A and B are shown apart, each in its own frame.
Chain A
Amino acid sequence: MKGVVFNALEEFTDRNYGEDQFQDIVEECHLETKDPFVGPGTYPDSDLMKIVSRLIDIKKVKLDWALKEFGHFLFPKLISINESYASESKGIIDFLQRVDSIIHIEVKKLFEGAITPTFIYSEITETSINIKYISNRQLCFLMEGLILGASEYLNERIDYKQLECHHEHGCDYCLFQIKKV
């Protein structure tokens, strides 16, 4: 995962659980990475998961909840990379379609070594969309938070649910249904 994500996690952790919390956890975790994380760097996914696991242990929160909160926090950080990703879209349903076809493609050009998920869209109407999320990382809870972050950023309220989820049904994807309200 890219350094931008680690840096956002540091900010998220320090803001919610107290200054230096992130650095303390990092020092306890025996990560593969020894240097401080910098935005353009690429670091092992396992380091990220070690930090997150340690964090939920200490704070006695659930993984799905923590990832969702983090995704929510992460979205404004990601969009600040290039605000026009959002301003060029015609609302949340259009924006979500641009994530796979434009944004993540641009992201991969910009950040060498970035690995982004695959989205397959279906049932598209003006006010609703289904997104099949496919990724070896299986971070559908992070995705939930990112979707909420996007809806807040674009000021369009939505309802979502996972019709199918890898963690519940064992399928190799997660299927989101998103509706404007």
Chain B
Amino acid sequence: MSVEKKIERLNQKISILEKMIEDKTRENFNNQEKLKEQQAQIMFNAKLASIGEMASSIAHEVNNPVGIIEGQLRRLRHHIENGNLEKQLNLVEKIENNTQRVIKIVNGLRQLSKSTESEELKVISLKDFFDEFKEYNHIKTIDSSVEITFPHFVDDIQVWGKDTSLAQIVTNLINNSLDAIGDDHASWVRIIVAQAGDFCHLTFIDCGRGIDKAHISKLFDPFFTTKSHEKGTGVGLNICKKLARELDGDLNYQLTKGNTSFVLKLKLNKIKGDSTI
């Protein structure tokens, strides 16, 4: 075979190989696009599910004051018939308060259905946040005999965050604890706050004795749940971790002195020239 022919054959081989590489690269790219699409679909489904979860817990919250208002209206009619003006005024005031509560809860729902992505990161006072949260929380605490201890702030701590994201994370973590430990006077949930470097650690500890080793690696997977179909969606922790990361923070499971706990890491807002933080 002449040298020219050999070179020609080698050139042919090289161009065949180049085409193979090109095809493979395109295939890899397409697979990646497909994977991205599937991931987006999963996240979208998860979001729908979590909105559903929120809506049902909010419906639960709204039902309570509405039920009370209904009773108060019945008594008001009675006092109008009797002409007792003082009692009438007193009841109207109570009805106003309960109506305000419903409005606040519904506003909360409206906030939740807003995308957290469009919300700007801002400095949040944890003290104010928890004060608000305790008042209008969307958790099942009202009927629960579980003792919930919120963090105690000697000095306020400021973090970077979004109100709706934080509320969603805290709600889900507390609800998860309540689901896990059972409604019992001896049961408790504690939220502890600590500062570490550039971060603030909010540790949510409950009286549970840790999570089954086999489950730990899956906790943050979408749709991982050990609960029944009506109770669990398995998206809570997945979304919370995503939200925490959107805030440049993180969310992780850990065992704290033998108890189940989740650590929410948030970025501290350091005040210039303040060396005590």
Bound Cα distance from A54 to B16, whole angstroms: 26
B1 and A38 contact, CB distance less than 8 A: no
Bound Cα distance from A40 to B23, whole angstroms: 13
The residue from A19, A20, A36 contacting B13, defined by CB atoms under 8 A apart: A36
What is the size category of the interface that chain A forms with chain B? Answer: under 10
With contacts A20-B1, A23-B1 known, is A40 near B12, CB below 8 A?
Answer: no
B20 at the interface (CB under 8 A from A): yes
Within 8 A of B (CB), among A36-59: 36, 38, 40-41
Residues on A with C-beta less than 8 A from B16 are 35-36, 38, 41
Q: Which residues of A contact B (CB under 8 A)?
A: 19-20, 23, 35-36, 38, 40-41
Residues on B with C-beta less than 8 A from A23 are 1, 9
Residues on B with C-beta less than 8 A from A41 are 16, 20
Q: List 7 A-B contacts (CB under 8 A).
A: A19-B1, A20-B1, A23-B1, A35-B12, A35-B16, A36-B16, A40-B20
Bound Cα distance from A41 to B20, whole angstroms: 9
B80 at the interface (CB under 8 A from A): no
Within 8 A of A (CB), among B1-30: 1, 9, 12-13, 16-17, 20
The 7 lowest CB-CB distance pairs between A and B, nearest first, are A20-B1, A36-B13, A38-B16, A38-B13, A36-B9, A36-B12, A38-B17
A40 and B13 contact, CB distance less than 8 A: no
Q: Which residues of B contact A (CB under 8 A)?
A: 1, 9, 12-13, 16-17, 20
B1 and A40 contact, CB distance less than 8 A: no
Bound Cα distance from A36 to B11, whole angstroms: 10
A38 and B20 contact, CB distance less than 8 A: yes
Bound Cα distance from A23 to B1, whole angstroms: 9
Q: Give, as a whole number of angstroms, the nearest-CB distance from B266 to chain A.
A: 43
Bound Cα distance from A38 to B23, whole angstroms: 15
Given contacts A19-B1, A36-B9, A38-B20, 7 further A-B contacts (CB under 8 A): A20-B1, A23-B9, A35-B16, A36-B12, A36-B16, A38-B17, A40-B20
Residues on B with C-beta less than 8 A from A38 are 13, 16-17, 20
Q: Give, as a whole number of angstroms, the nearest-CB distance from B2 to chain A.
A: 10
